[in-house]
Structure 1
Amino acid sequence: MLDAHLSSPPNFWMESYSCLYSSSHRTGLLSGFQRLRSERKMCDVVLEAGGVAFPCHRALLASSSEYFWALFGETTKESSAASVDLPALTPEGLDAVLDFLYSGWLSVSPSTIAVVLQAARYLQVETAVSICERFMIDGLSAQTCCCYANLAESQVLSDALEAANQTIATEMVTLLQESRDDLLQLNVQSLLAVLDADEIPGVREVELVKLALDWLDGNGPLPLLKSNLLLSRLRFGLVCPDDLARLKHRALSTPLIRSQLTRALEYHRMGPAQPIRQSKQSTLRASASRVLLVGGGSGVDRPEQHVLAFDPSSRTFSSLSSGLPLRLRHHCACSVGGFLFVLGGEEVKDGDEDGKKSVAVATSNQVLRYDPRFGRWEQAEAMLERRAQFSCCVAGGVIYAIGGRRADARASVASVEFYDMTARAWRRGATLPRALHGHASTVLDDSVYVIQLLRWDLSGRVWEKRASMSIARFGHRLASAHGFIYALLGMYEPFCDIERYDSQADHWTRLRPLLVGSFGYGMASTPSGNLLVFGGRRWSDGQEVVTKSVLEYDTKKDRWREICQLPRPLTGTECTLLPLPD
């Protein structure tokens, strides 16, 4: 008898498995359903809208739409119905959405977007809704923004609504001229958002006030709370007193709006104190601050009255419509509360003595103030002393005028004064340890710094000696950025080195030299901390040449580059940042 035994199974290597995907299968599946629909084969339900029938397949509809999934559920009467009526939809909208479900392609245009979006939202086809929203955002323009804003608001499309509202604000000047009726039909949420915008280029505030009142006439009466909410978005401080006095409307008679109108009139009566009494009601709806180039000219003895505005984002120049009232050199410029101040300097006048042309120069203590809200120059309180080749800076809304040269001699002065706008007067500040002119100053951490280096903590009355620069300079520039002070070139320096001061360590560090040595240039510090240098003079073949270059210094990367050129050669200009109406 043979012994029986169980043999062991063969020892195979463990098998490996792969999961492979066919990208064409899904497309082929949809193509098959699309062919069945076009040939009206195996259709088990008919959808009807506006008297038009659309044979379809329940399985595809239910798998593609939450609405149809619920509609064709086991407990609904439509689950076995041969036809389903959809009276809320148009044939065009339903046809477009069904084509999308069967093919993945959505046919939409500006004329059909409303009905297609309505159908996609009603049938809960969220992918189609997202495509419609993207189509609206990409197609925003002055012609479509109001219509799309109303559509986005009614269909609760937050991204499209926000984008449409921004476009309305940007295109407002065109809309007021060409499509005012579209604005008057705008939904209230969009109008609220637009009137709350910080940038509405090219539009006077009084035009927005008239638009809001006309909208209330056409869409009111609104509940008191909503009417107040709408009108409180207006900035009455940007409307001149004469226009404010002419405003007549029942919606302006509520206590809240009357108080805002009263505050606007009080603001206009504040005069010199306006810069330190700013609020949203008096803040320009303007883009980021421009760099103003105040005065200067093609030569140091030929100052001009023009004021250029430089847009750092587009690197373009424009001229202020209202130039300087005077021809000045060796003056100072600064900004406070959205106002431009031009201080002192030497006033240059052309004369004619005995038939010969002459030039008269007189050192000034005048202070000019420019209000960009109304494009108007005004005379502010004069400084206590006449000053030229001095420096000015701003700290805490206070303007400080430091040192300079006397009116009647080349002698320097050590006096310091500051402008108390509340009292409408200039006051004496802490006197410098010695007389200075041709110097520079800046503000860092609530202290004023003056080269050689002196520091004045504004809470005290004494200047404190700090570390001097490694290079003696005259006619140079100072700027503060990222917690440091930067000193740029002065007149006739043999090298192009610049320096950085660390106030914590009381130490100067030399940095990358300027591309080309120059002096008599304008300089501004941008919000990003970069420094811009405009024009100036340099030596070329033994002669002084006025340049057109605009240089940018990256304070973080210690790098210089030329970014553009001025419209014409310029020297002796003074720079400051100021928001301007477009």
Structure 2
Amino acid sequence: MCDVVLEAGWLRISSSTLPVVVEAARYLQVEAALSICEQFMVDDLNVENCCYYANLAEQHFLLNGLEAANQTIAKKMVVLLQKRRADLLELNFPSLMAVLDADEIPGVMEVDLIKLSLDWLGENGPLSLLKSNLLLSRLRFGLVAPSDLSELSHGNRAMATPLIRSQMTRALEYHHMGSAQPIGQSRQSTLRGSPNRVLLVGGGASTDWPEHQVLAFDSSSRKFSLPGFVLPLRLRNPCVCSVGGFLFVIGGEEGKNGDDKEKKSVTVLTSSQVWRYDPRFNHWEQMESMLEKRVQFTCCVVENVIYAIGGRHSQPDSNTYTSVASVEYYNMASGAWRRAAAMPSPLHGHASAVLDKSIYVSGGHPAHWGSIHGSNQDINREISRECLSWDIKGRVWEKRASMSIPRFGHRLATAHGYIYALLGMYEPFCDIERYDPESNHWTRLNPLANGLFNYGILSMACGNLLVFGGTRWSNGQQVAVRSVLEYDTKKDRWREIGKLPRPLTGTECTLLPLPD
């Protein structure tokens, strides 16, 4: 209950008296009283009364109250469908349209929204085809399995109008696009309530024993969660990226004949496999393999095209490897990998980043043949400081200014028009540096407090870099860490912003929209 003082006296409002007070204030045109009633409504909204208040606000043209009620209905839809479905079936037409238009309806499957809409039409009909089309056209048929679409549309007049049939046809065409689905996205196939999450894909407590686990990180709450899926196979040093709301896991080394209890990997095979995860249907699919097997390579996404650059692959039944200079790209329209302009020389353990539609590659090990278990001194002598760039429309890799430090197994990230080179393996210092493509110059920046490698990294929309886990040396041993670090690229400042649930090294990071 709420007691409010007006110039003419007291106004007492409660949820039971609100309809009478609103009606009287509307009839008497007391705008101050209407404003107070509307504010009471907004403050009092909950799952039990949101539909009731939406109807009241719509009836009396309380637009702010109506908007707030509609937003509450969308946020609480999962509970309303389970416990207060009758309230939804009594909801006014504009409110239901507004709710179905919402980009965020957490925890609700699209097929349940279609069933609700059809039930609402059955309870509140008959409606004109125009109104029926207006309502159903707000549904996202691309998020519903073809079998469910067929079942829901069978014998239903509202689903048989030319407009709705054309939308369902487009949805079915989307389902049959195969490899081209990521480049065929539309509003109808975009998840609701799906803000980008930072995904930490693979890795483990030891680089020698990668795990299937995937973690999700919410950058606003700084909390970790399990997204409800895991990797389809155990991989070390794969490349990970996302395109069109799909997750791609490419190449790497697959552990075979491992003993989960003793955590010993018996055989490691270099892979050319490509796996794609669809969060809409929680489904992994194996796509066309790369032309070459690759590990310690990089991948970049430019205009929805994935480029796989360099890397190495182990020789069967030997302790040696072959480095490659080749570059290939994934044509999603055809579902095939194609050759692109090769780098000037073989390279693995390098890093890459995309800036202004150009690919930049730095560092790495240029040796063509070698032992997988060479000494640190041998590796250090061969590590490169060079930086290359390639405009995807051109055919030639160009040399840029070299980094000040040779780097191997490091990371590149872009922010605010610059490229940042972070720590790799075998580095005696903890320095990072920034590349300015305009001046073609590298600048040393504030170093990390401790050496770190095999971490996951991501550049956020704000331009800050997040670094997850990794390995550092402690008493002559490699130790996985739990730290989550943030680098403020504008202030050149490091800070720790959280902890991983457990030590993690060798993870790969990307952004992906996930259903709540």
Alignment partner of 1:565 out of 464, 481, 499: 499
Write the distance in 2 (CA, Å) between the matches of 1:532 and 1:560.
Answer: 10
Write the distance in 1 (CA, Å) between the matches of 2:296 and 2:352.
Answer: 12
Write the distance in 1 (CA, Å) between the matches of 2:487 and 2:72.
Answer: 34
Alignment partner of 2:389 out of 445, 455, 472: 455
**2:168 alignment counterpart:** 261
**1:203 alignment counterpart:** 108
Question: 2:322 aligned with 1:416, yes or no?
Answer: no
Write the distance in 1 (CA, Å) between the matches of 2:397 and 2:323.
Answer: 18
For each residue in 1:422-474, what CA deviation from the matched residue of structure 2 results, as whole angstroms up to 9, or x when unmatched? 11100001100111111111111111111131111011111111111111111
Q: Find the residue that maps to 1:406 and give its secondary structure.
A: strand
Count, aligned residues: 485
For each residue in 1:33-66, what CA deviation from the matched residue of structure 2 results, as whole angstroms up to 9, or x when unmatched? xxxxxxxxxxxxxxxxxxxxxxxxxxxxxxxxxx
**1:533 alignment counterpart:** 467
For each residue in 1:139-196, what CA deviation from the matched residue of structure 2 results, as whole angstroms up to 9, or x when unmatched? 2221121111111111212222112111111111111001111111111111111111
1:275 and 1:338 in contact (8 A); partners too = yes
Write the distance in 1 (CA, Å) between the matches of 2:462 and 2:449.
Answer: 21
2:274 and 2:289 in contact (8 A); partners too = yes
**How far does residue 351 in structure 1 lie from its aligned partner after superposition?**
4.8
1:448 and 1:457 in contact (8 A); partners too = yes
Alignment partner of 1:493 out of 419, 427, 430: 427
Q: Find the residue that maps to 1:149 and give its secondary structure.
A: helix
Write the distance in 2 (CA, Å) between the matches of 1:471 and 1:576.
Answer: 26
Q: Find the residue that maps to 2:266 and give its secondary structure.
A: strand
1:381 and 1:424 in contact (8 A); partners too = yes
**1:31 alignment counterpart:** none
Question: 2:307 aligned with 1:400, yes or no?
Answer: yes
The one-letter code sitting in structure 2 at the alignment partner of 1:483 is G
The one-letter code sitting in structure 1 at the alignment partner of 2:269 is A
**How far does residue 232 in structure 1 lie from its aligned partner after superposition?**
0.7
Q: Find the residue that maps to 1:419 and give its secondary structure.
A: strand
For each residue in 1:479-530, what CA deviation from the matched residue of structure 2 results, as whole angstroms up to 9, or x when unmatched? 1122111111111322222111111111112222224321100011122222
Question: 2:209 aligned with 1:302, yes or no?
Answer: yes
Q: Which has the higher contact order (CA 8 A, sep 6+)?
A: 2
**How far does residue 127 in structure 1 lie from its aligned partner after superposition?**
1.7
Question: 2:445 aligned with 1:445, yes or no?
Answer: no
Write the distance in 1 (CA, Å) between the matches of 2:39 and 2:224.
Answer: 35
Write the distance in 1 (CA, Å) between the matches of 2:244 and 2:118.
Answer: 29
Q: Find the residue that maps to 2:13 and give its secondary structure.
A: coil
Percent identical across equivalent pairs? 69
Write the distance in 1 (CA, Å) between the matches of 2:264 and 2:476.
Answer: 29
The one-letter code sitting in structure 1 at the alignment partner of 2:338 is R
* 1:207-226 equivalences in 2 (<5 Å): 207-226=112-131
1:400 and 1:418 in contact (8 A); partners too = yes
The one-letter code sitting in structure 2 at the alignment partner of 1:562 is E
1:195 and 1:233 in contact (8 A); partners too = yes
**2:289 alignment counterpart:** 382
**How far does residue 112 in structure 1 lie from its aligned partner after superposition?**
1.7
* 1:320-335 equivalences in 2 (<5 Å): 320-335=227-242
**How far does residue 101 in structure 1 lie from its aligned partner after superposition?**
4.2
Alignment partner of 1:139 out of 35, 39, 44: 44
Q: Find the residue that maps to 2:313 and give its secondary structure.
A: coil
The one-letter code sitting in structure 2 at the alignment partner of 1:570 is L
Write the distance in 1 (CA, Å) between the matches of 2:104 and 2:146.
Answer: 23
Q: Find the residue that maps to 2:249 and give its secondary structure.
A: strand
1:364 and 1:407 in contact (8 A); partners too = no
Write the distance in 1 (CA, Å) between the matches of 2:30 and 2:490.
Answer: 50
* 1:431-442 equivalences in 2 (<5 Å): 431-442=342-353
* 1:3-22 equivalences in 2 (<5 Å): none
The one-letter code sitting in structure 2 at the alignment partner of 1:539 is W
Taking structure 1 as reference, are residues 369 and 406 closer, same or farther at Cα in structure 2, changes over 3 Å only?
Answer: same
**How far does residue 535 in structure 1 lie from its aligned partner after superposition?**
0.4
Alignment partner of 1:127 out of 32, 35, 44: 32
Write the distance in 2 (CA, Å) between the matches of 1:397 and 1:356.
Answer: 37
**2:365 alignment counterpart:** none
Alignment partner of 1:430 out of 341, 354, 357: 341
**How far does residue 272 in structure 1 lie from its aligned partner after superposition?**
0.7
**1:47 alignment counterpart:** none
Point out the structure with the larger strand share.
2
1:306 and 1:320 in contact (8 A); partners too = no
Write the distance in 2 (CA, Å) between the matches of 1:250 and 1:170.
Answer: 30
Write the distance in 1 (CA, Å) between the matches of 2:21 and 2:264.
Answer: 77
The one-letter code sitting in structure 1 at the alignment partner of 2:83 is E
Provide structure 1 residue ranges, at least 5 long, that are not aligned to the other structure.
Answer: 1-91
1:546 and 1:571 in contact (8 A); partners too = yes
The one-letter code sitting in structure 2 at the alignment partner of 1:548 is R
2:209 and 2:264 in contact (8 A); partners too = no
Write the distance in 1 (CA, Å) between the matches of 2:272 and 2:405.
Answer: 31
Q: Find the residue that maps to 2:8 and give its secondary structure.
A: helix
For each residue in 1:317-358, what CA deviation from the matched residue of structure 2 results, as whole angstroms up to 9, or x when unmatched? 111322111100011100000000000000012358xx9976
Higher mean C-alpha displacement, 232-241 vs 494-503: 494-503
2:101 and 2:138 in contact (8 A); partners too = yes
Q: Find the residue that maps to 1:217 and give its secondary structure.
A: helix
Question: 2:393 aligned with 1:482, yes or no?
Answer: no
Structure having the higher Rg: 1
1:485 and 1:500 in contact (8 A); partners too = yes
Write the distance in 2 (CA, Å) between the matches of 1:230 and 1:275.
Answer: 27
Alignment partner of 1:371 out of 251, 254, 278: 278
Write the distance in 1 (CA, Å) between the matches of 2:483 and 2:108.
Answer: 33
Taking structure 1 as reference, are residues 576 and 151 closer, same or farther at Cα in structure 2, changes over 3 Å only?
Answer: same
1:329 and 1:347 in contact (8 A); partners too = yes
Question: 2:256 aligned with 1:349, yes or no?
Answer: yes
| RMSD, aligned CA | 1.9
Alignment partner of 1:233 out of 127, 130, 138: 138
Q: Find the residue that maps to 1:110 and give its secondary structure.
A: coil
For each residue in 1:10-34, what CA deviation from the matched residue of structure 2 results, as whole angstroms up to 9, or x when unmatched? xxxxxxxxxxxxxxxxxxxxxxxxx
**1:44 alignment counterpart:** none
**1:316 alignment counterpart:** 223
**1:188 alignment counterpart:** 93
Taking structure 1 as reference, are residues 356 and 513 closer, same or farther at Cα in structure 2, changes over 3 Å only?
Answer: closer
